[in-house]
Amino acid sequence: MNRSGALRLVPVYTLLLLAAGLTLLPLLWMVLASFKNNEDFMGSVFVPRDSDGNIALGRFTLEHYRTLGGRENFLRPLINSAFLASVTAIGATLVCAAGGYALAKYNFKGRKLCTGLVLGAMLVPGPLLLAPGYQVLHTVGLLDTFYGLILPALAPAFGVFLFRQAAMVSVPTELIEAARIDGCGEGRTFFTIAMPLLRPMIGTFLMITFLGVWNNFISPQVVLQDSDKFPLSVAVAQLRGTYYQDYGLQMAGTLVSIVPVFLLFLPLQRDFVSGMTSGAVKG
């Protein structure tokens, strides 16, 4: 790249750096707040200061994290969230990948009707399904169980449609027909040929589903009654006291809840971007 071309990119990178700074600023504030007591939380924006206005790094404390580590009623929700998010993400990915692949590559009677029902289901707001969903779970006896949270989330219409679009673009019909001619069964064709080609969408949907279940706050409070089964999102909200608010403790709990999602995003970020673009073709 010549010098004039590099100079033209300076304003672009400057704007990107400003946008990145504005995005990371609240995260930096939360990280620093999790190490401050209530007095410093109220008295300083980022770094604690002494009575003379000088920076006092020694006032940072790990007490909030020690408190969280010593709370059994906080470690249990962390395990519950990891279990619910992992099982739901893996199960929903397999179910949606199979459903989307079938809609994209199989010609069967009622295919257009099924596709229309999937698109119609995407238009229904989630909160409208809380009451009928509660009634169904009560009827089949799945209230206050993890099954009541996992099973309804295994086949979201959004995921089926995403994988349908991805399969239409990324999985050649000729390759499937060649596999059938060679004697490959339908199950083996799906897992050994279609699934590797759908890898970008798999990584994207895994992360979307994991994040959605991890941050789910309403459904666990509707389905679950036993506090020992509550996920981390509910436990963090319960760190608020009735008459006293330990804001540093709440920020520490929130930061702990962010770390697993951050660790999941790092290895899947490239698949996330390519997966979101692979389904962006009209089919």
pLDDT per residue as tens digits for the range 150-207: 999 998 999 999 999 889 988 888 989 898 888 888 889 999 999 998 888 888 898 8
Under 8 Å between Cβ of 98 and 190: yes
Whole-number pLDDT of residue 258 = 85
Share of the chain above pLDDT 90, in %: 26
- Residue-range definition of the domain harbouring residue 264: 71-278
Query: For the chain, what percent of residues have pLDDT higher than 70?
Result: 89
How far apart are alpha carbons 167 and 105 in whole angstroms? 8
pLDDT for the residue 27: 87
- Where is average pLDDT lowest: 41-45, 71-75, 120-124? 71-75
Give a yes or no: residue 23 inside a domain.
no
User: DSSP class of residue 172?
Assistant: -
pLDDT attached to residue 282: 45
Beta-strand (E) ranges in the chain? none
Gap between the Cα atoms of 211 and 258, Å rounded: 10
Q: Which residue has the higher pLDDT, 141 or 238?
A: 141
Please say whether the beta carbons of 206 and 171 come within 8 A.
Answer: no
Quickly count: other Cβ atoms within 10 Å of residue 76's Cβ. Answer: 17
H-only helix segments in 106-226: 111-122, 130-140, 147-150, 157-170, 173-181, 186-189, 195-197, 199-214, 218-223
Query: Is 46 within a domain?
Result: no
Confirm if 189 and 179 have CB atoms less than 8 A apart. Answer: yes
Q: pLDDT tens-digit profile of 25-69?
A: 988 888 888 888 877 787 777 888 777 767 777 788 888 888 877
Residues 6+ apart with CB under 8 A from 187: none
Q: What's the rounded Cα separation, in Å, for the pair 108 and 78? A: 44
| 120 part of a folded domain | yes
**Residue 45 — φ and ψ, nearest 5°?**
-80, -50
Cα(202)–Cα(190) distance, rounded to whole angstroms?
13
Q: CB of 74 within 8 A of CB of 249?
A: no
Rounded to whole angstroms, the Cα distance separating 5 from 126 reads 48
pLDDT per position as a tens digit, 241-251:
666 777 888 88
Residue 102 covered by a domain: yes
Token pair in block for residue 3 = 């010098």
Higher-pLDDT residue of 33, 240: 33
Average pLDDT on 211-218 reads 90
Instruction: Output the pLDDT for position 276.
Output: 58
Has residue 171 been placed in a domain?
A: yes
The total of structural domains in the chain comes to: 1
What's the confidence (pLDDT) of residue 145? 92
Does residue 107 fall inside a structural domain? yes
Contact between residue 152 and residue 133 where contact means Cβ atoms under 8 Å apart: yes
Burial tier of 53 (Cβ tally within 10 Å: 0-12, 13-18, 19+): exposed
pLDDT band at 92 (very low <50, low <70, confident <90, very high): very high
CATH number of the domain residue 264 falls in:
1.10.3720.10
Instruction: Give the number of other CB atoms < 10 A from CB of residue 246.
Output: 18
Q: 45 with 29: CB under 8 angstroms?
A: yes
Please indicate, yes or no, if residue 201 is contained in any of the structural domains: yes
Predicted TM-score (pTM) of the model is 0.81
Q: Evaluate whether residue 30 is within a structural domain.
A: no
